[in-house]
């Protein structure tokens, strides 16, 4: 099926290079471990010809929009729709599940709670495997396929593995998953199994799994699909392209993302800086990163000057971001600095409260995504975010990704034995399931009680 023509900026013929984020070394080929051949730091993808390309930005914007009307799979992908700003590829190799094109929702109820005029959420949980990982995985799986690899592998807190397993299956590759035993949700584990991955539950945490993967790629012919792989981050840039398109290219004041291994914040930040460089936007939104208090390596790293990573022993029920040594910390620091963003950590109770508030909007998200709303509350208190500003929260995962958490919360089991103050903050948001005899009287009684005591939403 022919896809729509390319537009003013045709970087597909201009190519790309890998650049070391520390020493700046440029190369057209990356090693298996995607680390610099000189200093071993991470690589990023750059497009040297962009500087002289002087793109016709209005034409680009209308090309991207018009692709919604195409019938070609790559035009219908919310990632490949923006292919002029991605590494060039033969279209027949693209592995796509029609990722991206996710909604930008208004959150009027949450806006009222935090005292903002307007609050928006980019819901990445509505991707094919239920998380933002699909936007990066389509690009990285495509380049893995182009490289002719047989095995792809990742370490994961659950979402990367679900996504990788799906895209590997679609691309005709085998997949190997390394996850921390007992520390990922059943939903995510079941996805990897369902999509046919060889799934290893290792007796360690995410950082241990990632360390082992690094060793594995040196010793076996497996292609790594963690966010160390810079193709992943190129795909994840499209989250920012879409946000801007959905706001008619008028930049929001703030974009707030959860921080785990820090690939996503790096990708979104890279996209913002590239859009500014190309003249697609006239000013750069501030990109802020929120972590869980028990996994706050970036917060601590910044507090100690930002010259070296301060690792932590991670602990949080938001298992997606239960990471102590984030691989992309330098990239994230760079985008925080370049966009003037903040970095904050939020408590387990603040996360649970924010998750229930997003749920009560009829939207829902997984716990790791809810750190964005909890973090926003802090940034407002600090006057870093003002009530009249436009804020976009990036909700990274679907509510169905972690039903155990939601059920524990509503049954009052998430913070068992917690103090009265905690209970007072959370009780109005709890809706525990009610077990009843199967009689009409019993149900009518419940309806009556609920009507008499309307529960405040917050
Ligand atoms: N939100 C969710 C739902 C995630 O799954 C992750 C990371 C993050 C936020 C943090 O993003 O790592 O780019 O800073 N999950 C990875 C995984 C680590 O293996 O699924 P990040």
With tokens 């806006």, the residue in question is 111
Predicted local confidence at residue 418, as pLDDT: 81
Pocket of ligand 1 (CB under 6 A): 131, 133, 156-160, 227, 258-265, 320-321, 366, 368-369, 396-397
Q: How far is the CA of 341 from the centre of ligand 1 (A)?
A: 19
Q: How far is the CA of 240 from the centre of ligand 1 (A)?
A: 16
Q: How far is the CA of 261 from the centre of ligand 1 (A)?
A: 7
Q: Which of ligand 1's atoms lies nearest the C-alpha of 160?
A: 20
Q: Which of ligand 1's atoms lies nearest the C-alpha of 155?
A: 19
pTM above 0.75? yes
Would you state the structure tokens that stand for residue 285, as one six-digit string?
């939104």
Nearest CA to ligand 1 atom 3: 397
Nearest CA to ligand 1 atom 15: 320
CA pair distance 25, 19, nearest whole angstrom: 6
Cα 127 → chain centroid: 11
- Tell me the sheet residues that pair with 290: 258, 344
Q: How far is the CA of 368 from the centre of ligand 1 (A)?
A: 8
What sections of 70-132 are H helices per DSSP?
Answer: 73-76, 108-114
Q: How far is the CA of 156 from the centre of ligand 1 (A)?
A: 8
Strand, helix or coil at 19?
strand
Mutate to test the pocket of ligand 1, among 123, 263, 264, 351 (most ligand atoms within 8 A of CB): 264
CA dihedral 414, 420, 425, 429 (to 10 degrees): 50
441 Cβ contact partners less than 8 Å away, ≥ 6 residues apart: none
Mutate to test the pocket of ligand 1, among 161, 270, 320 (most ligand atoms within 8 A of CB): 320
Q: What Cα–Cα distance (Å) separates residue 110 from each residue in 183, 194, 314, 414?
A: 29, 35, 28, 22
Phi first, then psi: give them for residue 96, nearest 5 degrees. -135, 145
pLDDT per residue as tens, the chain (458 positions)? 445 544 444 444 458 999 999 999 999 999 889 999 999 999 999 999 887 788 899 999 999 999 999 999 999 999 999 999 999 999 999 999 999 999 999 999 999 999 999 999 999 999 999 999 999 999 999 999 999 999 999 999 999 999 999 999 999 999 999 999 999 999 999 999 999 999 999 999 999 999 999 999 999 999 999 999 999 999 999 999 999 999 999 999 999 999 999 999 999 999 999 999 999 999 999 999 999 999 999 999 999 999 999 999 999 999 999 999 999 999 999 999 999 999 999 999 999 999 999 999 999 999 999 999 999 999 999 999 999 999 999 999 999 999 999 999 999 999 988 888 888 889 999 999 999 999 999 999 999 999 987 555 44
Mutate to test the pocket of ligand 1, among 396, 399, 405 (most ligand atoms within 8 A of CB): 396
Q: How far is the CA of 212 from the centre of ligand 1 (A)?
A: 18
């Amino acid at each position: 099926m022919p896809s729509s023509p390319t537009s003013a900026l045709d970087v597909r013929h201009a190519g790309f290079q890998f650049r070391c984020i520390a020493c700046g070394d440029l190369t057209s080929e990356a090693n298996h471990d995607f680390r610099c051949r000189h200093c071993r730091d991470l690589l990023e993808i750059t497009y040297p010809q962009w500087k002289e390309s002087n793109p016709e930005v209005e034409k680009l914007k209308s090309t991207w929009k018009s692709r919604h009307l195409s019938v070609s799979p790559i035009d219908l992908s919310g990632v490949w729709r923006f292919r002029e700003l991605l590494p060039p590829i033969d279209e027949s190799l693209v592995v796509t599940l029609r990722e991206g094109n996710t909604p930008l929702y208004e959150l009027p109820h949450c806006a009222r709670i935090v005292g903002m005029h307007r609050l928006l959420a980019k819901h990445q949980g509505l991707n094919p495997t239920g998380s933002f990982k699909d936007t990066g995985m389509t690009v990285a799986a495509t380049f893995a396929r182009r490289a002719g690899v047989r095995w792809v592998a990742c370490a994961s807190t659950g979402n990367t593995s679900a996504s990788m397993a799906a895209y590997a299956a679609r691309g005709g590759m085998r997949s190997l998953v390394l996850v921390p035993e007992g520390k990922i949700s059943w939903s995510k584990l079941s996805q990897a199994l369902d999509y046919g991955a060889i799934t290893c539950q290792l007796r360690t945490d995410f950082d241990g799994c990632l360390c082992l993967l690094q060793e594995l790629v040196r010793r076996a012919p497996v292609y790594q699909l963690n966010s160390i792989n810079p193709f992943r981050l190129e795909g994840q840039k499209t989250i920012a392209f879409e946000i801007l398109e959905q706001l008619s290219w008028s930049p929001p004041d703030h974009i707030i993302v959860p921080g785990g291994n820090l690939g996503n914040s790096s990708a979104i930040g890279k996209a913002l800086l590239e859009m500014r460089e190309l003249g697609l936007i006239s000013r750069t939104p501030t990109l802020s990163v929120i972590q869980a208090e028990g996994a706050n390596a970036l917060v601590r790293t910044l507090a100690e000057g930002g010259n070296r990573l301060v690792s932590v022993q991670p602990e949080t029920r938001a298992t997606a971001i239960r990471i102590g040594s984030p691989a992309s910390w330098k990239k994230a620091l760079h985008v925080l600095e370049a966009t003037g963003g903040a970095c904050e950590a939020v408590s387990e109770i603040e996360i649970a409260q924010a998750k229930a508030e997003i749920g009560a909007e009829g939207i829902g998200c997984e716990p790791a995504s809810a750190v964005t709303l909890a973090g926003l509350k802090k940034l407002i208190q600090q006057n870093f975010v003002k009530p009249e500003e436009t804020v976009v929260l990036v909700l990274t995962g679907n509510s169905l990704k972690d039903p155990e958490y939601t059920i524990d919360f509503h049954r009052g089991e998430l913070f068992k034995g917690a103090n009265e103050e905690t209970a007072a903050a959370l009780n109005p948001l709890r809706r525990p399931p009610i077990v009843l005899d199967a009689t009409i009287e019993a149900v009518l009684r419940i309806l009556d009680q609920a009507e008499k005591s309307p529960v405040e939403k917050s």
